[in-house]
Structure 1
Amino acid sequence: YLNGDIDIYKWEYKIKAEDPEMFNVIEYQEDNSITEEKMSLGKPLLIFENNGNTHKFMGIIYLGERGGNETKIGVEIELIDFLENKGLKEKETFTGNHHVAEYKLREGGSYKILLSQPAKEGEEGIWCVDRWMDNHGMMYYEYIESELDLKTYYNKIQEKADAGKDKSRLDYKDVALDFIKNNAKDYDFDYSLNVALEDFYTLPVNQYYGYIMETKKYEWSENNFIDFDKVEFLTLEDKERLHDLKIDKNRLSDGYYINNPTSYPDSFIIEKDKDTKFYILDDSGKNHKEIGEKDFIEYIKNNKNSLYKIVEIGFDVIKIREVIGDETGR
């Protein structure tokens, strides 16, 4: 990606001061000494581009910033992230073939997993989790406990697959399910095969069902804040989930079931500069009509038991729609 090699140096020092508070630092050690280490982020690594005759300082990375470790793979992943943020490489750990697995959370929202082939492409190539994105678009990496570097680590797994000793990573679905572990089943995933990287980095559209517990307005903000109690909204199409909950689908007289084992609010912000749409049910309870934000806030006060759906992209609330009306508020 660069004209030369990359050199990485540890930066370590220790300063003992009679009064450490005279220095402009946030953290210092128990013996009042000051070091380079940030307790929450770990020790810094200095990154230099080495052109043979000269070294060009590029920046600093902290191994603890993303939950990494001081193994070769931990350093390698942090360096990859550093170079990507500098625009010096594509946002992928492994080039070539990619699939995307999108996992729907039970209370709304989606996680996206980027699957790559780290050793060789095609039907005989193993798959791995390149990285994953949460429902708000935050990016995370899979940190592997190994003393090897990434290339050697996956080449050894590929060799086992070629020899028929371990074929578990030849199926991308198995890799995705293993990553999510016990929180998912096949029907929870939507797979997109042979995608461009741009498809993975498109933020997921999150849809949450629940009850609006309270709206808040603070003096320091023009925005409205909503406390939202998320629920799992199930219909007759969710046969396996209804079976897991031991709910007889034949007893769903209204055609739906609301699973709300806990009542804990999540906060959403309706920002003034965003064009959020608001829809409520009309008097018939069958059709929707659009209203303004101010009228919607007033409407909530008299319809506390209505079920709503919030549509969100990233941290932006795009739409709030009343799903099931509160008959007591009409």
Structure 2
Amino acid sequence: MDQLFLEILDMSLLSSYVIIVVICARMLLKKQSKIFSYILWAVVFFRLIIPFSFESIFSLIPRRIQGLQAEITYSNQAGIHTGVQINEAALVSHGILESGTVSNHSLMDTWITIFTVMWMIGIVALFVYSIVSMRRLYAQLKDAKWVSDNIYESNTIRTPFVLGWFKPRIYLPVALLEKERKYILIHEQIHIKRYDPIFKAAAFFILCIHWFNPFVWIAFWLMSEDMELSCDESVLKKMGPEIKKDYSISLLSLSVGKKIIGGHPLAFGEDNIKGRIMNILNYKKPAFWIVIVAILAVTLLFFGLLSNPKVKPLTVTEYAEQYIQEEVDAFESAEWSEFKIVETKITKLEKLAEFDEILSEPVEIWSLEYRLKPDDIDKVSLAGGMNAVDGWLTEDSSMGKPMLVFKHKGDSVEYLGCMRSGESDFTTIAGQETALQIFFEEMKLLPYETYSGEHIIVKFPLSTGETCQLLLSQPIVQGDSGIWCVERWMDGNGNLYYETPRTEKSQKEYYRELQQEKENGKLSYLSEPLQVALHFINGELRQFVSIDDLKAQYSVKAEDFIETPESQYIGYISKFEINKYSKSSFHLDQIEWLTADNDAERLNKLGVNPQDLPNGYYIYNPNHYPMFCQVTEETSYYVIKQGSTALQSVTLEEFLKHLKSFSGSAPPFHVVTKDGYVQSISEQYMP
């Protein structure tokens, strides 16, 4: 939905310009027939609902107005697309980031999501209001009496109107004068003949989508006004100018005195009665040559606003130069910058790889190297991986060299963004594929899965007690005959790691060969997902667990994997400090809580006889370095109060008071963490 909102925002910005131009044209056409102004609103609503158009050299659309959605999407990449997506809460908890530090990428995503939700709430509110209003109107008309054809009379309405889209009805107040009745019926029949009820309903639907844009509200009101003015003029053309006075009197007597918010009904006496009467009294049939000139002007303006400007597609080199200029602007606008870049040059621009199957269009990676010459190299502070050669700054950064990503669109290329050579292994095809997978997932051009089909999530513990999880997929064949692979894994702090097979071939070719070997009777364990998971954990991660330690979730969606696993610990709490760090924190000295009933095998390994436990439990403390933990406002606390064996929920203040109440050693506590922070603390009952 975020991407849809950005597209709507893009169209709304472009349409605001079109609305302003149409309003100006409307003023110039003030003395002409209002049908010309009414027609021009069609291009506005086309721009508001259709995200594409044709190109023309006669376009009146400025180039700078186009592409807001693309600019937001690509700038939102923040220039970093690592194989590890870092969870910021975890970085804060480990002291790597200061409290309150949030990346531009996350902040932009958050605001876009907030605005998207607000946008959807506004749409629903307008639709609900419109539906409720229509239901009330229909209830008001339930006693209306049929007169003839599609004409009805009601004693509960003050002004005539048309109601209905595909089989519209004309509703009239009772006791109308015969002369008034004639004018009104012609007016409403013209509305029906021109399909005005459908057009206004469509305009209101578009207004609901773009409710946040005040220009669209103005366009809706002015279009409705031009609709009525042009309809009045059509009545005069049909019945002659001699009815001006009587028609104006009818309009005045049947005025409702207010605008109708919504796409229905089309009311004869809606607001702007003064303007309509003035237009009726001043109306003169225009000369033929004036009509021809007006038609030509409106036609040119219509197609000028409907078409997009012809844009000469940029080459890869021109995109690279544009990228370098953006880097120069970033250098010179930085607060710490005391130098200016006086010259730039590209030293290397080379296509590294091309892939045809990642997106619907071919994708290319280009390696870029360049030099920036500052006016005074001595004023440059080389930091963040920056480097200088012979007085020139290089393209190097702490994350490596820029890797530009392009997408083919016909005979031209479209720049999608920049990766960095230090973020992934660009020396192999498989590594390049992984880098692009990450890149396009962040751009929301690909789903959060490398391979579609069935997935399995496998949770497992690290030696530290932290719970991690793997996402397993079938890369070649689905079902019982297909092999499984680990495509990515996540630690307990929410850090995401993408797995790249060690091969010089593409990932598809690599797994296709493994699939063939399995079908030939080799590597049979690849068809067993838990064995694949165990092989990866023991071999790749060097974490020695047994298959009994693995907890599998079958037939899951890839989106389920995004949820960070919870890690559970037990130990002694010490040094609980409230104000020392950005969040309250404590140290946890981890232990093993072993019982004779459940942990006999572990007790025997430790040389402890399960029968020699007087209280039924044994605490094994391997004397690890204490674990640093941070709590949040959402952390839950549970304690066992004196004389009870049940856990009771308490506040942080009550928990600290309870912790201090132990004169000797305090009992151990169960601690649950997620995304780098403590979710809950629960006291262990001591028999």
1:231 aligns with 2:591: yes
What is the letter of the counterpart of residue 226 of structure 1?
F
**Which residue does the alignment assign to 2:547?**
186
**Larger strand percent:** 1
Q: How does 1:166-181 map to 2 (within 5 A)?
A: 166-181=523-538
- After superposition, what is the alpha-carbon deviation per residue over 1:56-104, rounded to whole angstroms, capped at 9, x for unaligned? 2222222433x64521111111110111111111111111121121113
**Which residue does the alignment assign to 2:642?**
283
**Which residue does the alignment assign to 1:294?**
653
What is the letter of the counterpart of residue 590 of structure 2?
K
1:161 aligns with 2:505: no
TM-score normalised by L of structure 1 = 0.86
What is the letter of the counterpart of residue 408 of structure 2?
N
TM-score normalised by L of structure 2 = 0.43
Q: Is the alpha carbon distance of 1:14 and 1:239 closer, same or farther for their aligned partners in structure 2, counting shifts above 3 Å? A: farther
CA distance in 2, matches of 1:119, 1:197: 17
Instruction: Say if 1:27 and 1:34, in contact at 8 Å, map to a contact too.
Output: no
1:261 aligns with 2:622: yes
CA distance in 1, matches of 2:426, 2:616: 49
**Which residue does the alignment assign to 1:251?**
612
What is the letter of the counterpart of residue 469 of structure 2?
K
**Which residue does the alignment assign to 2:178?**
none
1:45 aligns with 2:406: no
Instruction: Say if 1:207 and 1:309, in contact at 8 Å, map to a contact too.
Output: yes
Instruction: Say if 1:63 and 1:70, in contact at 8 Å, map to a contact too.
Output: no
Q: Is the alpha carbon distance of 1:206 and 1:214 closer, same or farther for their aligned partners in structure 2, counting shifts above 3 Å? A: same
What is the letter of the counterpart of residue 205 of structure 1?
E
- After superposition, what is the alpha-carbon deviation per residue over 1:98-119, rounded to whole angstroms, capped at 9, x for unaligned? 1121113455432111111111
Measured after TM superposition, the shift of residue 199 of structure 1 is 2.9
1:306 aligns with 2:672: no
Gaps in structure 2 of 5+ consecutive residues: 1-357
Q: Is the alpha carbon distance of 1:220 and 1:135 closer, same or farther for their aligned partners in structure 2, counting shifts above 3 Å? A: closer
- After superposition, what is the alpha-carbon deviation per residue over 1:161-203, rounded to whole angstroms, capped at 9, x for unaligned? 1112332312112111111115110110111222222332232
**Which residue does the alignment assign to 1:4?**
361
- RMSD after superposition: 2.7
1:205 aligns with 2:566: yes
Measured after TM superposition, the shift of residue 220 of structure 1 is 6.7
Instruction: Say if 2:569 and 2:672, in contact at 8 Å, map to a contact too.
Output: yes
CA distance in 2, matches of 1:253, 1:285: 21
Counterpart pick for 2:419 among 52, 57, 61: 61
Q: Is the alpha carbon distance of 1:128 and 1:6 closer, same or farther for their aligned partners in structure 2, counting shifts above 3 Å? A: same
Counterpart pick for 1:35 among 378, 388, 394: 394
Measured after TM superposition, the shift of residue 255 of structure 1 is 2.8
**Larger helix percent:** 2
Instruction: Say if 2:637 and 2:681, in contact at 8 Å, map to a contact too.
Output: yes
**Which residue does the alignment assign to 2:506?**
149
CA distance in 1, matches of 2:463, 2:381: 49
Of all paired residues, the percent bearing the same amino acid is 31
CA distance in 1, matches of 2:465, 2:590: 8
- After superposition, what is the alpha-carbon deviation per residue over 1:12-53, rounded to whole angstroms, capped at 9, x for unaligned? 1245777365267533348686322334x2333111122123
Instruction: Say if 2:453 and 2:473, in contact at 8 Å, map to a contact too.
Output: yes
Measured after TM superposition, the shift of residue 139 of structure 1 is 1.0
Instruction: Say if 1:211 and 1:305, in contact at 8 Å, map to a contact too.
Output: yes
CA distance in 1, matches of 2:626, 2:677: 17
Counterpart pick for 1:131 among 488, 493, 504: 488
- After superposition, what is the alpha-carbon deviation per residue over 1:239-273, rounded to whole angstroms, capped at 9, x for unaligned? 4444443443333333333332133222222223x
CA distance in 1, matches of 2:383, 2:406: 25
Which protein has the larger Cα radius of gyration, Structure 1 or Structure 2? 2
What is the letter of the counterpart of residue 404 of structure 2?
L
Instruction: Say if 1:27 and 1:38, in contact at 8 Å, map to a contact too.
Output: yes
Instruction: Say if 1:20 and 1:34, in contact at 8 Å, map to a contact too.
Output: no
Q: Structure 1 stretch 22-31 or stretch 116-125: which is displaced more?
A: 22-31
Q: Secondary structure at the match of 2:369?
A: coil
Instruction: Say if 1:113 and 1:129, in contact at 8 Å, map to a contact too.
Output: yes
CA distance in 1, matches of 2:468, 2:490: 6
Counterpart pick for 1:214 among 575, 581, 596: 575
Q: Secondary structure at the match of 1:137?
A: coil
Q: Structure 1 stretch 225-234 or stretch 121-130: which is displaced more?
A: 225-234
Measured after TM superposition, the shift of residue 285 of structure 1 is 5.5
Q: Is the alpha carbon distance of 1:242 and 1:59 closer, same or farther for their aligned partners in structure 2, counting shifts above 3 Å? A: farther
What is the letter of the counterpart of residue 255 of structure 1?
G
Instruction: Say if 2:448 and 2:559, in contact at 8 Å, map to a contact too.
Output: no
CA distance in 1, matches of 2:649, 2:546: 37
**Which residue does the alignment assign to 2:101?**
none
**Which residue does the alignment assign to 1:323?**
684
